[in-house]
Structure 1
Amino acid sequence: MGIGRKSGDRRVILFGFPHCGDFSESYQAWSDGLPASMRFHGVELLQTGMSMREVHSDRWEQGLQEACSFVQRHLVPNEEYVFIGHCWGSLLAFEASHRMRGAGLAEPSHLFLSGCSAPHTLRSRSEAGGLQGSDSGCQPMGEYRPPVDLQQLRSRISVFTGNKDEHAMIDQLAEWSRYTSKICDVHVCEGNHAFWQAHAIKWLQVAQTIVEREYVI
């Protein structure tokens, strides 16, 4: 990527995937301060009000198609891009990465995934029904079925979670490494599954630092 550019001229596009909470405000507060070398796009879906409950539904497939179409419309030749997501937005970003590769397009250079267990460790709503204060919208209704294309991605993965997140257990997050041939690193923040509401800018700034270090400088 970036053929013909000097290292100081490199640009990266950051795509933020939606979440069932009001995550757009956190994206906005953070992305307003991005350097000129980064361009942010919040992925816009017609399928509003989605949640992890939808992963087996036609709405999920429609949302996935809409997300991929949005990304393709905003890609720029020779510019790298990364995906950022929280909860089901992380899972949507993961599936979109596979879908982009299936369409013969370059995969994102990096996935920044927050508050989401690795696909093969996701627990259904029935399995996790005893969790106190859990939001069923953050759990699939049944067993999650990963994409048919199970080849490892060539995207680096960074995973974020709260130290009290009942939906993304710390000791299981390294399992995301199964899905990439590149580095997979785990970052633990303070809080529960909704930690992003209070601390989103903090972990988004960590993601920004990684992007600047790995893809811009």
Structure 2
Amino acid sequence: MRDAATPAALFHVPRPLPDAPLRLVCVPYAGGGAGVFRGWHTGLPGIEVAAVRLPGRESRYTDPPYRTMGPLVADLADAITATADRPYALFGHSMGARVAFETARRLRRVGGPQPRCLFVSGCRAPHLPLRPPTGHLTDARFVQELRALGGAPPQFFADPELVALLLPMLRADFGVLESYEHAPAAPLGLPVRAFCGDADPHVSPAQAAAWRAHTTSRFGLTRVAGGHFYLAERRDTLLRTIREELARSDSPPKEGR
């Protein structure tokens, strides 16, 4: 495992809770960082929140970003294994949902610790096609696509120097998604809870519900008021559902065959 992929580098724990019975590992969307999950620990009492701090942004700005799914998933799985001092669950939004899913599958393959629950948000089921690729677009057209997605505030696009500074990282993140190829495998044997914004133009309720095919355990779909980036506006609703689901997932899952 590379030095830049150690747990200390990958995980940002805003409030360490050594005695917490469970850890929630949170994976951000493309272009996002650990700051996406700022304040989550206040809405998840008794749960230690570990936000994944990907390279190429925030305090890891000088670290080269991942460009494909495989190395990212391998490093995250290693970091989870190295810190497996208690049960944990995985949450991912958009790109982060597929990363979390593939991490759970990798850990199953290598005999690593499985999460108590997998939360996938704002993401089509992995066997469904993604949005049209963006890797071939000029910088100007790529920025237009980013603006249409709505994940960054207008101030970001009003600062050309900032856009130019972060563009390589953003293109790398989209490359992680667009180079991803789903490989069929046995469903996971753990609960999966999917979330979908009811006004999300990129992920329909049916596409989110299709995650059901990837578990032999309990599945649920929660529709949340908002678009693709509903996380901040509906944080209380989201965290309440996570708390309720984790309370139901208080015993180790039986692995699917």
TM range (shorter): 0.7 to 0.9
1:133 to 137, 141, 148: 148
Q: What's the % identity of the aligned pairs?
A: 22
Paired residues for 1:19-34 under 5 Å: 19-22=29-32, 24-34=34-44
User: SS at the partner of 2:127?
Assistant: helix
After TM superposition, give the deviation of residue 31 of structure 1 in Å: 1.1
1:115-136 CA-to-partner distances (Å, cap 9, x unmatched) read 0000112334159xxx993479
1:10-69 CA-to-partner distances (Å, cap 9, x unmatched) read 822211112235463452312134333x222112333659xxxxxxx8532221122112
Q: Could you tell me which residue of structure 1 aligns to residue 181 of structure 2?
A: 145
User: SS at the partner of 2:39?
Assistant: helix
2:196 is the alignment partner of 1:164: no
Aligned counterparts of 1:64 and 1:170: Cα–Cα separation in 2:
26
C-alpha distance 96-147 of structure 1, shift in aligned 2 (>3 A)? farther
Aligned counterparts of 1:210 and 1:91: Cα–Cα separation in 2:
20
C-alpha distance 126-138 of structure 1, shift in aligned 2 (>3 A)? closer
Q: Could you tell me which residue of structure 2 aligns to residue 91 of structure 1?
A: 98
Aligned counterparts of 1:122 and 1:114: Cα–Cα separation in 2:
16
Aligned counterparts of 1:182 and 1:173: Cα–Cα separation in 2:
16
Higher relative contact order (CA 8 A, sep 6+): 1
Q: Could you tell me which residue of structure 2 aligns to residue 120 of structure 1?
A: 127
Q: Could you tell me which residue of structure 2 aligns to residue 13 of structure 1?
A: 23
2:108 is the alignment partner of 1:67: no
Cα contact 1:98–1:147 (8 A) shared by 2: no
Aligned counterparts of 2:237 and 2:37: Cα–Cα separation in 1:
11
Q: How many residues align?
A: 194
Report the residue type matching 2:78 in the other structure.
S
Report the residue type matching 1:160 in the other structure.
F
2:228 is the alignment partner of 1:199: no
Aligned counterparts of 1:185 and 1:138: Cα–Cα separation in 2:
28
Cα contact 1:162–1:191 (8 A) shared by 2: yes
RMSD (CA atoms): 3.1
Question: Gaps spanning 5+ residues in structure 1: where?
Answer: 1-8, 50-56
Residues 11-20 or 133-142, more deviating: 133-142
C-alpha distance 81-184 of structure 1, shift in aligned 2 (>3 A)? same
Aligned counterparts of 2:112 and 2:101: Cα–Cα separation in 1:
15
Structure index of larger Rg: 2
2:57 is the alignment partner of 1:82: no
C-alpha distance 35-188 of structure 1, shift in aligned 2 (>3 A)? same
C-alpha distance 68-164 of structure 1, shift in aligned 2 (>3 A)? same
TM-score (norm 1): 0.76
Aligned counterparts of 1:89 and 1:32: Cα–Cα separation in 2:
21
After TM superposition, give the deviation of residue 172 of structure 1 in Å: 2.5
TM-score (norm 2): 0.65
User: SS at the partner of 2:202?
Assistant: coil
